Amino acid sequence: MGTILVVAEIQKGAIREASYELVAAAQGIEGGEVNGLVIGSGVGDLANEFASKGAGKTYVVDDAAAENYNVDVWSKAIKAAAEASSADLILISNTPTGWDVAPRIAAGLDCAFTSDCISAAAGDGGYDFVRRIFGGKLDAEVSTSGATVATMQPGAMAAFEGSSDGGTEALSADLAAGAKFVEIKVAEATGVDLTKADVIVSGGRGVGDPEKFPEVIQPLADALGGAMGASRPVVDAGWLDHPYQVGSSGQIVAPKLYIAAGISGAIQHLVGMKASNFIVAINKDPDAPIFEVADVGVVADLFDIVPALTEAVSAAKG
Amino acid sequence: MKVMVCLKQVPHQDARLDVNADGTWIQEDNIKFEINSYDTYAVEEALRLKDAGSADEVVVVSIGPDRVTQALRTALGMGADRAIHVNDDAAAGADALATAKILAAVAKEEGADLVFAGLMADDDNASAIPPMVAELLGFPSATGVLATDFSGDAVKVERELEGGALEVVELPKPCLIAIQSGANQVRYASLKGIMQAKKKPVDVKTLGDLGLADQASAAQNKTTVNKIYVPAKGDTAEILSGSTDEVVGQLVTKIKELGLL
C-alpha cells in the first residue's frame, strides 16, 4: 500500500474534528504511510499541529489565494500534494467542501472514487469501504481498484487522539482559479431558536400535508411547553420555513425530549438531533433508521398516536 | 445559451427496498421509479432561465434502460425542449466516473453553455457525478447551490454550508451547477405540457454513438459495489406495544420520569 493523504479542513481557525476522524481512518488502514495536507492562508501553526497529532508528514499550501475555500484552488493543491506524496489513497471529509472538490480530484486523476464512507480498509489492489445508501436504509460494501479518492462521513468514527512526528513541507502550486469566492452569508436570526427548547416535537415527510403541522404537531409541542421542528423534506417542500429545520444544514439541537413523528431518520437529520437526552420516534416503518437513535419507539400511524398523546399530556397537567 | 440538465431515474421514495438475487443492488422489478428529487430542482432551475429568456434551449439527459423514458417525458412535460436518452446495456452498473464520462461526452456534443445537475441521488447518495462532469469538461463548478443569479457576465451562486450559512461564489461561463434540494418550488407537468411532450424529440444514443464504446462501460469500473444489506441494528429503541391508549400511557409515564410533566 502506498501513502494515504489526509486532507484537513479548517473551520473557525481550527482543524475540524472530522479531519482527525480521517486521520483515525487512515491510521487504521494496514500498511499505509499517513501524510497530511493543510490548505489555507497563514496556516503554518495548524499544519504543525496536524503533523504532530497523527497526520505525520504534512504538506502545506499556504497562499493568500487559499484564504477562503475555492474549488479550483483546492483541486490544484490536492493534486499537487497527491503527486508530491505519491498518494495511493486521498481521504477527504464528506462536508460541503468535500463533496464540492473530492469528485473533481478523482476525475482529474482518472482514479476510483467513493463517498460518505463509514469505514475504510486495505483491499485487494485497492481499498474496501462501507457506505450508507438509500438514506441509511441499506449499507453497501464497495471495493476500489488502484489509486482512490474517498470521502468519509463526519461522526462515523472517533477522532484520532495519538501523536505523530512528521514535520511539514511547504508546497507551491499554480492556484489560478476560474471560480471566485465572494462572501459567506451567515444564517439570519429569526424568532425560531430550537436550540433553547427543552422539548421539540418534529414532523417529517410522513406528516404528509402542510396543514397537519399546525393541526397535529404544534399542539403536542404546545402541550409539552416545547417547540415544533421539522426534517429537511418538509422545509424543501415549502411546508415550513428553514428556521424549523433540524439537521446538519439546519439547527443542531439537544433538548431534554425530542419527539420525531413521521421522520425516517436520514443521516442529515440524525446529526442534528441524536445528542438529545431522550428521543421518542413514531413511524409506521419498523425499519426506519430513526429507531436506531431513539430511546423509545412506537411503530404506528402518527395520526393515531400524536393527537392521543396531546390529549393525555394536557389531561396529566390537569 | 444552451442549458443541459442531467437527471437520474431512481426508485420511488416509498418503494419497497428488497436486496436482489446476487446481493449487489435492490430488486428493481415491479417497483415504481421517479425523477431523483434533487434533479427535479435542477430541471426547475433550468426552466426558470428559459422562462426569463436567458436560455434558448433546455436539453434533459439521462442514462438507463427503457424505463428512463418516463422520467425524460416528465421533464419534457414540465417544459424541457428536448431529451437525450443514453440507453446501452454496457452502461448498466457503470460507476460514477464512467457515468460522468458519458454525460461529459453528451455535453460536449451538445455544446452546452451551462450544465445543471442535482447535488446527489436519492438511491446511492453519492454526490459524485456533477463535479466529475465539470472536471472532465474543464468547467468551473459549484455544488449544493440554493440560489443562482444570471444577471452578470459570471453566474453568481449561493452554496449551502453547514448550519444554514451560505457561500457566495462567481463562476465564469460555461460552468456546471449542482442544485441542492429545496432551491425552488418545482412545477408540475401540466396536462397541456404532457400532451406537448409527446411530440418533443427523445434522442436515443448508445455508447458507440458517443465514441465511448470501450471507454465508459461498467467493464471499466474502478469502483464496484460487492454487497448491499440491511444494516445490523445497533442500539435500537425500546418498542412500545399495545393499544393506542396503552402506548400513550407508557409515553406519558416516560415524560413524567423526565420531569417534564
List chain A residues with CB under 8 Å of B128: 103, 106, 113-115
Q: Which positions ≥6 away from B54 have C-beta within 8 Å?
A: B1, B150
Phi-psi region at B66: left, alpha or beta (left = phi > 0; alpha = psi -120 to 50): alpha
Burial A47-82 (b: 16+ CB within 10 A, else e): bbbbbbbbbbbbbbbbbebbeebbbbbbbbbbbbbb
Residue A1 has a pLDDT of 63
On whether the CB atoms of residues B110 and B59 are closer than 8 A, the answer is yes
Residue A102 CA to residue A148 CA, distance in Å, equals 11
Asked if the Cβ–Cβ distance from B131 to A141 is below 8 Å, we say: no
Share above pLDDT 90 across residues of chain B, in percent, rounded to a whole number? 92
Residue A315 CA to residue B255 CA, distance in Å, equals 13
List chain B residues with CB under 8 Å of A233: 181
- Would you say the ipTM is above 0.85? yes
DSSP A193: -
Residue A248 has a pLDDT of 86
List chain B residues with CB under 8 Å of A141: 225-228
Flag whether residue A64 sits within 8 Å of chain B, measured between CB atoms: no
Residue B112 has a pLDDT of 98
List chain B residues with CB under 8 Å of A103: 96, 100, 127-132, 135
DSSP B211: T
Residue B233 has a pLDDT of 73
- Give the gap in angstroms from C-alpha A60 to the nearest C-alpha of chain B: 24
Amino acid (1-letter code) at residue A266: A
Interface A:B, Cβ pairs < 8 A: 270
Residue A84 CA to residue B175 CA, distance in Å, equals 29
List chain A residues with CB under 8 Å of B248: 305, 308-309, 312
* Grid cell in block for residue A303: 395520526
Flag whether residue A303 sits within 8 Å of chain B, measured between CB atoms: no
Length reported for chain B? 261
Q: State the DSSP H helix or E strand holding residue A270, giving kind and residue range, or none if neither.
A: helix A267-273
List chain B residues with CB under 8 Å of A239: none
Residue B149 CA to residue B138 CA, distance in Å, equals 21
DSSP B146: E
- DSSP E strand boundaries for chain A: 3-7, 10-11, 14-15, 33-40, 58-62, 87-93, 112-122, 127-133, 138-144, 148-152, 168-170, 180-185, 199-203, 227-230, 257-261, 279-283, 296-299
* Pick from A134, A233, A256: CB nearest B258: A256
Low-confidence ranges of chain B (pLDDT < 50): none
* Grid cell in block for residue B136: 472532465
* Pick from A133, A146, A296: CB nearest B237: A296
* Grid cell in block for residue B141: 463548478
Burial of A178 from C-beta contacts in 10 A (0-12 / 13-18 / 19+): middle
Asked if the Cβ–Cβ distance from B135 to A184 is below 8 Å, we say: no
Options 1.10.10.10, 3.40.50.620, 3.40.50.2300, 3.40.50.300; CATH for B2-220 is 3.40.50.620
Where are the domains positioned within chain A? 3-170, 194-317
Residue A233 has a pLDDT of 93
List chain B residues with CB under 8 Å of A231: none
* Pick from B126, B141, B162: CB nearest A71: B141
Asked if the Cβ–Cβ distance from A137 to B234 is below 8 Å, we say: no
- pTM value? 0.93
Residue B257 has a pLDDT of 95
Task: State the CB neighbour count (10 A cutoff) for residue A86.
Answer: 12
Helix axes A96-109, B96-110, angle to 10 degrees: 80
A:103-162 residues touching chain B, CB 8 A cutoff: 103-104, 106-108, 110-116, 126, 131-146, 148
Place domain A194-317 in its CATH homologous superfamily.
Answer: TPP-binding domain (3.40.50.1220)
Asked if the Cβ–Cβ distance from B234 to A292 is below 8 Å, we say: yes
Query: Per residue of chain A (318 residues), what is the pLDDT tens digit?
Result: 689 999 999 999 999 999 999 999 999 998 889 999 999 999 999 999 999 999 999 999 999 999 999 999 999 999 999 999 999 999 999 999 999 999 999 999 999 999 999 999 999 999 999 999 998 889 999 999 999 999 999 999 999 999 999 999 999 999 999 999 999 998 776 677 898 999 999 999 999 999 999 999 999 999 999 999 999 999 999 999 888 999 988 888 999 999 999 999 998 899 999 999 999 999 999 989 999 999 999 999 999 999 999 999 999 987
Residue B8 CA to residue B125 CA, distance in Å, equals 12
Evaluate whether A3-170 and A194-317 have a shared fold.
Answer: yes
- The CATH code of the domain at A3-170 is 3.40.50.620
- DSSP E strand boundaries for A160-241: 168-170, 180-185, 199-203, 227-230
Q: Position of cell 464497495? A: A142
